[in-house]
Structure 1
Amino acid sequence: MILKLIKAREEILYHYSQYSFLPNANKAKIFSHTILNEIEHFSEDENIKKIEIEQDGFNHIFFVKFLEWDTNYFNLSTYKLLYVLYEHRNYAILKKAVNNFVKEFFNKKGTYCFSEIPSEDIFTIQALNEAGFKLVENRLTYYLDLNKYNYERFAVRSANNSDIINLKRVAREMRNDYDRFHAETIFDVKKADEFLATYIEESIKGYSDYVMVPAEKGIPSDAFLTANYQKKDWEYIDEKISKMVLSAVSSETCKGWYLKLISEMAFHLKSIGVNYAFMHPATTNRAVIHTYEKLGCKYGKCVHILTYTL
């Protein structure tokens, strides 16, 4: 039954892949590896729940994953709604199915769930909205073709453990009021700040493949950019692509260094054979988007972050 439901929504589900924006991509391989293969292995993950809702003769499957680290950090039972599978085009039926899912799943106070849904899945977005899910963030994907990339060079280095205290401070201070953790009203602002500080600490300790900071004389390491190489996917999708993940730049001591770090990370990724780099700016971050476009990045896709709290 699951394969039948996947097939029915294959065109839309493809946009859930983080690589769906790739130009001239092997769509069949990307879908097989990042969507089909993932769903087929859900049964092996004890943190993933499958909630089945039968509505007006149609089956609906909701896959929800328990996030242990987030739960412990925020002291809030945290889940991510990964996919909603169904095979019809009847919005009235879908709306009733989603409402029944909400009633069944959110039956205990202190439960928090979020979902990242591509703009193309407009039916599911509307049904979740009407069932009580709220919009907290709109996020874009921009990408850069590294094969053609060239720009002036800047002095940078890899971050090390001695940078952790300082970079945690920068992460706390350079708050983005429009990311999910700060836009979501149930999170304490200081706790959200500390979450990003913890993220950069863990990134330096090995969670990220590379963390870059300025190395220019007279410039403090008050800026950073992290990257994940994504090498585990390369052979399966026929493309070498990496992700620039988290950044923070002091507006007082490192003005202009966001562009420099993005550019130098592009050169670093290019040096290890990467063909494309991508990043996820919020739609509200016009300065960042302007920087990407100045460096030759192109728009790839848009996703919406929806949340529900009981």
Structure 2
Amino acid sequence: DKATLRDIEWIGSKTFLGSYYGSLQSKTPRAAFPWSESRDSGRPDTGRGGYPTCSEWWSKAETGLQARVVDQADPGLWTRLSAAMSMIGGNATDYREAVIRRLVSPESLTVSQGGHVYAGYGGNADFTLDNSVSRVAAIGGTALGSVAAFPAFDAMRQALPMVQAVLLMAVVVVLPLILAFSAYEIKTVITLTFVVFALNFLTFWWELARWLDSWLLTALYSSDTHSSFNMAGFQNSSDDLIMNFVMASMFLVLPAFWMGALSWAGVRIGGSLEAAFKTGTNDVQKAGGEAVNTAKSAVKL
């Protein structure tokens, strides 16, 4: 029945305590339970404790697992639970059991023993059936989309150097006009210098993206600690497909980031140099003007 199924979901199950835990013992000595001849006869006395039954191991006051888990909880938690029970009612035993269930859940034990590693931002941290269905559907959609997307990405990657050459030609053509229209401002000259440098440096970013696209999966899976085939939900298959999409987009994202960052730096440097030139010549300009103004005033007098 549902009540029994709910009860046997955790290690403190009343069904287990009443039917099984009394006859089962720990396989290794436990320091919190002294060795007992009547209980541990036939097992070695190593001096590191006895072999408690599972019922004793869980239920014993102070040294039992249940009591030790309760001691690990924040004392303020029980105060808040008491306040909640006084407001909305309920059984204190049920609240206590719910807290202990959560503390000894596999998810909590995993986190307490060194943290939980999440494969990505897909799904919830506490992965559910809905998340699993969504993940499988996403894998199918990504695989179907890759049939048309990957050939398009391949053609795009071949076209990028051609676009670079045409853009460099266009910059060389308009360079004299822009300098003339800007009256040869220092800021414009510096900015154009950065633009030309950035366009030529795009080759590096494309080579970097191609290297990552070629060797990233090999670096991830060509070791004894990883496998290209993962039985736990085809997680690697999903990551591989998405990674291929991401790496293909890097041929556009990395150059866009590079051009934006470098152009911004060029504008800042150009503006600073222009301000420095103006500041450095400002005193001379004022001094030269003062001499002319003084001569004009003398003539008028």
TM-score band, normalised by shorter chain: under 0.3
More helix by share: 2
Q: TM-score, normalised by structure 2?
A: 0.20
More contact order relative to length (CA 8 Å, sep ≥ 6): 1
More strand by share: 1
Q: TM-score, normalised by structure 1?
A: 0.19
Larger radius of gyration: 2
